[in-house]
Amino acid sequence: MRIAFIGLGHMGGHMAANLAAGGHEVTGFDPVAELREAAAAKGVSVAESAVAAVEGAEVVVTSLPNGHVLLSVYDEVLPAATAGTLFIDTSTTGAELAWQAAEKVDAAGHRFIDAPVSGGVVGAEAGTLTFMVGGSDEDVAAAQPVLEPMAGKVVHCGKSGNGQAAKLCNNLLLAITQVGVAEAFVLGEQLGLTHQAFYDVASTSAAQCWALKTNCPVPGPVPASPANRDYEGGFATSLMHKDLTLAMAEVDRAGMDAQVGKLVADLYARLSETEHAGHDFSSIITTLRDDA
């Protein structure tokens, strides 16, 4: 298929390359020249503008910083798209902005699905992302051959916006479990437990979870976790802060209390103001230690 790919950043650069490797004809655009060059080196044709990328495309995939940038890019490119083009947005935007995007695309005579992802830069490069998709059965089926080279799993979560809803609920749970694991390690430190002893118990008990067994927030027990390299790499605190801010906006709109989520969102807001903003979000243990 002829695919336009807009936003060739940490995620989008790899995703566009996987689409090209999967046999699609991909034309990419990003305002950053080095990112266009990097994509070109991986088999992606590059355009000098988003509009030029979209002209003649059957599908337009976006990977942009947030929903506001998405809406402004859509304002720019929708008039240039062929009638009935399928727009697939993989950015994390929150449900509200996904609904607005869906309305805009629909009003312009095109089709839209929200398809945010989980799996990070590693999953984007390996083509093993989990896609959480919102949209009609027909549009989601049409998107399958495009999602396939980028995906390990595609979950159709329901109507438009439901992919974003699933993404926010997932990351809220992830943040809560990461803080929970970090708090348990800090209490263990206070009580004189070694990290390894606590890990050996918790990782084989009912408390086990991804935040412990893969993203362990202390160095040692899980050699590949970001804690072993001063929290470099992984999923950035600033991105988790962004996702929790979106989740808390939905919590407020739903009139929910979400006490635990609010505490965790506040912790990440604080951490995102520190030198850990660019570090993996398991670095939240440093805040909990300071508070202890």
The catalytic residue positions are 167
Here the tokens at position 88 are 């697939």
The nearest distance, CB 202 to ligand NAD, in angstroms, is 26
What residue is closest to ligand NAD based on CB? 9
Question: Per rule CB under 6 A, is residue 143 in the interface with ligand NAD?
Answer: no
Residue placing its CB nearer to ligand NAD in the complex, 75 or 273: 75
Q: Which of 30, 114, 250, 280 binds ligand NAD (CB under 6 A)?
A: 30
Here the tokens at position 238 are 């600033």
Q: How far is CA 147 from the centre of its chain?
A: 15
**Helix 195-202 crosses helix 162-190 at what angle (to 10 degrees)?**
130
Q: Which of 32, 40, 187, 263 binds ligand NAD (CB under 6 A)?
A: 32
Phi, psi at 27, each rounded to 5°: -115, 120
Question: Per rule CB under 6 A, is residue 154 in the interface with ligand NAD?
Answer: no
Residue placing its CB nearer to ligand NAD in the complex, 89 or 188: 89
Q: What is the largest CA-CA distance in the chain?
A: 66
The amino acid present at 156, given as its one-letter code, is H
List the one residue out of 208, 51, 63, 177 whose CA is nearest residue 131: 63
**Helix 237-254 crosses helix 259-271 at what angle (to 10 degrees)?**
150
On whether the CB atoms of residues 149 and 22 are closer than 8 A, the answer is: yes
Q: Which of 28, 94, 120, 261 binds ligand NAD (CB under 6 A)?
A: 120
> What residues are paired with 153 via a beta bridge?
130
> Number of residues in contact with ligand NAD, rule: CB under 6 A?
27
Residues in 207-246 at the binding interface with ligand NAD, rule: CB under 6 A = 235, 239, 242
Q: Which stretch binds ligand NAD (CB under 6 A): 5-13, 79-87, 106-114, 208-216?
A: 5-13
What ranges in 22-136 are assigned the alpha helix state H? 33-40, 50-54, 67-77, 95-107, 120-126
Tokens 């950053």 belong to residue: 32
Q: Which of 21, 71, 121, 209 binds ligand NAD (CB under 6 A)?
A: 121
Question: Per rule CB under 6 A, is residue 59 in the interface with ligand NAD?
Answer: no
The nearest distance, CB 291 to ligand NAD, in angstroms, is 27
The nearest distance, CB 168 to ligand NAD, in angstroms, is 11
Q: Which stretch binds ligand NAD (CB under 6 A): 65-73, 140-148, 173-181, 224-232?
A: 65-73
Quote the CA–CA distance of 77 and 55 in Å, as a whole number: 9
DSSP label at residue 280: B
Q: CA gyration radius for the chain? A: 20
Q: Which stretch binds ligand NAD (CB under 6 A): 3-11, 52-60, 143-151, 202-210?
A: 3-11
Q: Which residues bind ligand NAD (CB under 6 A)?
A: 6-12, 29-32, 35, 50, 63-66, 69, 73, 91-92, 117, 120-121, 235, 239, 242
